[in-house]
Chain A
Amino acid sequence: MSFVDFSWLIGGPQGSGVESGANVFSKVCAELGYQIFGKREFHSNIKGEHSYFTVRVSNRLIHSNVNDVTLMISFDAETIFRHYDEILSGGGIIYDSDLEKITTDSVRTLGNYFKERLHNELESKNKPFTIAGVLEVAKEKGVSLYPVSFKEILANLAEETENPRLKGMVRMYNVIGVSLSLGLIKMPANSLLHSIDSIFSKKPQIAEINKQAANYSYKYATTNFGDFSFTLPGVEKQPNTILVQGHQGTSIGKIVSGCRFQSYYPITPASDESVFLESNEILEIKGDRPGSTAVIQTEDEISAIGMMIGSALTGTRSSTSTSGPGFALMAEAIGWAGMNEVPIVLTVYQRSGPSTGLPTRHGQDDLLFAVTGSFGDFPKIVYASGDIEESFYDTGKCFNFADVYQVPVIHMMDKFLSSSVVTCKRFDPQKITINRGKLLDKIEGEYKRFAFTEDGISPRSRLGMDNGVFWNTGDESDEFGHITEDPQMRIKMMDKRMSRLDLILKQVPKEEQVVSHGIHDFTIISWGSTKGPILDALQILKEEGIDIGFIQIKLLHPFPRESVKSMLEKVKTVIDIEANHSGQLGKIFQQNVTREIDYFILKYSGRGMTCTEIYDSLKKIIENKANKREVLEHGS
């Protein structure tokens, strides 16, 4: 079967059910065996501002979204104003026909900057500043329009089901929209009903009303809309597939890895992880009594890291999850943990900085801060996951790194990952191992917490353990952990702690440090969530006969300079791709590998990269038409 690549967009005011609509659509497609890549964009707002969700559907493995939208469903005017120009020729727009006369000025949430750009565009095309105006532009481009009165649908539905309450239920617009879409592309109706049942399994009455609305709207589309150039034929279902939300990789990873204490302060986009852990706080343990995770909401991020360190000192695998502003508040205590060789894992879901920045938007701006943040020299590990599936297994690795090397580990995630919904292979907990390093179960005789050893790592006691008394201090200390300012002891202790950076590079398997996705004359270096759109862009180029290499750097500190250097030895052109302004990985790379980056592909609009824009930029580079800095702009 040929490559099916279908992109669906649903938009509406925040709080109007855009996300649950997208969940139903994603679930239906995934249940039918399709691969899904869903992506949510939203404002820092509770109700009213524009939010939208794109769901890309394919019959082969996909890792990103694309610029073009095949079908858009909108039940408000703003969605149409903002996205009408993203629909590809031959695509379609299902919209509420009652909106046609709405003017740009009457939609207050559009914002002046966007409105000005839109007016210029419409003026140049000689169209009125109304919904009808933008739809005309779309129609001239070859987009099919499917007007439908949502009000009428509700009224007819109320009559048909003899349930007058339905008449005013605008909350049903999302399910109606999803069902109209599925009817238009002729997806089987029974999987729609099945998905509604499973999503509303705890609220059977709501499920029932939704199913009635779904049935009615689905039939409405098949009888009234006529043909659409895109249909989604049946595909073979891949066994062992799950549909996961962005934070579920790290949260389920933490549960499996034995993290039993998580302290956190609410922050977007990190809190979902902690809420998930608390919702699943009681754990089933094979062959043992139930376990549990203590999830503690603290008064601030300083307290979150302090509590996590206190807990880690008792031998408990402990963690927190945060984003830029909270991460900054933790900086001092990360140094304390480094000084006292306490294993902790910080999961950092980056967003756009600096300061509050774009609090609900994507960015990879915190790499340099993760690497250098906190004063003084101390060892730590910075490790980045490329996608949700990877983040599950990486979480296991991060806890092992922390225990084995007795260092703080910073696990870099981001908003692109956290607000994605994807299909992937069911996580395999058996592939996670647990290595507690030199954590002791029993102590006899004199004990020195920071005893000098051959590899620089000392056997570790835990608070409350028999005969294991030790001291910690943020001051420089001796082997017992008591304060010292002796210059010779200072040198020995600094050397002891810092020596493990080399040890990490020596002992961590090379393929866990840097992943090569092929090396060619043109080779990309990148880190974190750019992996998905890069892989998808490279696949398209490959099909066109163009090979571009890609090395994904996962271990960012200590930097695997020798591996990276040797991998790039024969490479002619190095391209750095990152979602920040200054090319932060590029800076670390240049420092370590003493080689120039030839091209940067950067994005800092706060929106994630699409595979389309990476493909376009790479094409320009190959054709020698690119600037040294290519800045990406797609996304509303």
Chain B
Amino acid sequence: MALKLADFKTTVHNDWCPGCGDFGIVNALQMALAEMGIERDKATIFSGIGCSGKTSHFINTYGIHTLHGRVLTFAQGGKLANPEMTVVAVGGDGDGLGIGAGHFVAAGRRNIDMTYIIFDNGVYGLTKGQASPTLKLGEKTKSLPSPNTNYNVNPIGLAVASGFTFVARAYSYDVRHLKDLIVKAVQHKGLSFLDVLQPCPTYNDINTRDWYAGEDLAKEAAERHSRIYKLEDTHFDPVVHYADEKELDEKLAQALIKSLEWGNKIPTGIFYKNELISPFATRLKDKIPNYLENPPSKQNISKDGIPITDVSKILDSLKV
């Protein structure tokens, strides 16, 4: 039976502010799960803390609302123990690139086959609008007492540098494009990262929906009707096609340069994609040949309450 969008909705009251960019992300995620036909009990949404952290309660799959900054750690543990399960981790830019930045980098090095979506709005909404890691230096959003004194993190650049093998950006008000990118991210073999630009209508009065629509640039952006454009509409090829170091270097450099583009023109779509780097499960399989058929969560450990693991060889080696 084909799955419908409604199958992935819960009855939990959604208390995000009216006009919040997060709604688009939840809808797109539900649409993507339905489109891919992933049964609700075969997927887990892990979430961090903050407005975006509540996402897991609005989606009718397994939902694990974890700790501030730690969502990737929980999600990776779950996926490693049960590799058959579809795992999507979500969280804010403060969660993933501030308090959780160390885990972000380490996750890239592992390349576990799962997806991480950052709800990127430049502010800490749930604590009343402090500057978050993606807010630009010198910008003063509504509730800041003075302009931001920190330089911003470049999420796309950091992901590329850390070893994520699928790196993309979407805009939460283009739900269809976002949904398509989520599908591609989930289907990617390895760790995929999706940076979703998501206006916070309450606290970010700079990067608003109108700003992304380029209303202040009316004349210049008249053709596009937006600051946002799609990389797939250009000649940009993000894919590493051959196991060739030169091509790899070019694609990494190209993604990094593209990640710096901001202001009047903001690229969305896939910046970098490389399925030639081994996913972590393959690395484990090299050491543990039956890891995928018999992963930690599927192993029998006892029969009638008695352990069935045979340690006699280990004990023999200690015998005197």
Q: Does A309 contact B (CB under 8 A)?
A: yes
* Cα distance A289–B300 in the bound complex, in angstroms: 10
Tell me if B307 and A258 are in contact (CB < 8 A).
Answer: yes
Q: How far is the CB of A589 from chain B (nearest CB, A)?
A: 34
A280-B314 in contact given A260-B301, A314-B296 (Cβ < 8 Å): yes
Q: Does B3 contact A (CB under 8 A)?
A: no
Q: Give which listed residue, A306, A307, A468, A482, contacts B12 with CB less than 8 A.
A: A482
* Cα distance A435–B75 in the bound complex, in angstroms: 26
Q: Does A474 contact B (CB under 8 A)?
A: yes
User: Which stretch from B80-88, B183-191, B265-273 is at the chain A interface?
Assistant: B80-88
Q: Does B54 contact A (CB under 8 A)?
A: yes
Tell me if B74 and A307 are in contact (CB < 8 A).
Answer: yes
User: Which stretch from A97-105, A209-217, A364-372, A459-467 is at the chain B interface?
Assistant: A459-467
Give every chain B residue within 8 A of A288 (Cβ-Cβ): 300, 308
Give every chain A residue within 8 A of B291 (Cβ-Cβ): 292, 294
Tell me if B75 and A292 are in contact (CB < 8 A).
Answer: no
Q: Give which listed residue, A258, A302, A426, A472, contacts B309 with CB less than 8 A.
A: A258
* Cα distance A314–B297 in the bound complex, in angstroms: 6
Main SS of the interface on chain B? mixed
Give every chain B residue within 8 A of A336 (Cβ-Cβ): 66-67
* Cα distance A317–B61 in the bound complex, in angstroms: 23
Tell me if B70 and A302 are in contact (CB < 8 A).
Answer: yes
Q: Does A242 contact B (CB under 8 A)?
A: yes
Q: Does B235 contact A (CB under 8 A)?
A: no
Tell me if B80 and A296 are in contact (CB < 8 A).
Answer: yes
What is the interface size of chain B, counting residues whose CB is below 8 A from a CB of the partner?
A: 65
Give every chain A residue within 8 A of B40 (Cβ-Cβ): 469
Q: Give which listed residue, A263, A280, A471, contacts B57 with CB less than 8 A.
A: A471
Tell me if B318 and A244 are in contact (CB < 8 A).
Answer: yes
Tell me if B297 and A316 are in contact (CB < 8 A).
Answer: yes
Tell me if B314 and A241 are in contact (CB < 8 A).
Answer: no
Give every chain A residue within 8 A of B75 (Cβ-Cβ): 310
User: Which stretch from B26-34, B99-107, B170-178 is at the chain A interface?
Assistant: B99-107
Closest B residue to A257 by beta carbon equals B307
Give every chain A residue within 8 A of B294 (Cβ-Cβ): 289-292
Tell me if A482 and B296 are in contact (CB < 8 A).
Answer: no
A to B contact number (C-beta, < 8 Å):
243
Among B61, B66, B85: residue with most chain A CB under 10 A: B66
Q: Does B305 contact A (CB under 8 A)?
A: yes
* Cα distance A473–B70 in the bound complex, in angstroms: 13
Q: Give which listed residue, B10, B57, B60, contacts A473 with CB less than 8 A.
A: B57
A469-B41 in contact given A303-B106, A333-B70 (Cβ < 8 Å): yes
A256-B311 in contact given A294-B81, A303-B106 (Cβ < 8 Å): yes
What is the interface size of chain A, counting residues whose CB is below 8 A from a CB of the partner?
A: 83
User: What 1/0 flags go to A422-445 for Cβ under 8 Å of B?
Assistant: 010011011011111000000000
Tell me if B311 and A255 are in contact (CB < 8 A).
Answer: yes
* Cα distance A288–B290 in the bound complex, in angstroms: 12
* Cα distance A288–B299 in the bound complex, in angstroms: 9
Q: Does A308 contact B (CB under 8 A)?
A: yes
Tell me if A303 and B307 are in contact (CB < 8 A).
Answer: no
Interface residues of A in 309-347 (CB under 8 A from B): 309-318, 332-333, 336
Interface residues of B in 197-218 (CB under 8 A from A): none
Tell me if B319 and A429 are in contact (CB < 8 A).
Answer: no
* Cα distance A78–B72 in the bound complex, in angstroms: 49
User: What 1/0 flags go to B280-320 for Cβ under 8 Å of A?
Assistant: 00001001101101111101111101111111011100111
Q: How far is the CB of B245 from chain A (nearest CB, A)?
A: 26
Tell me if B296 and A310 are in contact (CB < 8 A).
Answer: no
* Cα distance A256–B68 in the bound complex, in angstroms: 35
A310-B287 in contact given A257-B307, A463-B62 (Cβ < 8 Å): no
Q: Can you show 14 pairs from A to B with CB atoms below 8 A apart?
A: A260-B301, A261-B80, A281-B287, A288-B300, A303-B70, A306-B103, A307-B76, A310-B76, A314-B81, A316-B296, A433-B307, A434-B306, A463-B297, A466-B41
Q: Identify 19 new A-B residue pairs, CB closer than 8 A, beyond the known A306-B66, A310-B79, A332-B67.
A: A31-B320, A241-B319, A241-B320, A256-B307, A284-B311, A287-B303, A287-B308, A292-B296, A306-B76, A306-B77, A308-B77, A314-B78, A314-B296, A434-B302, A464-B42, A469-B41, A474-B65, A482-B10, A482-B12
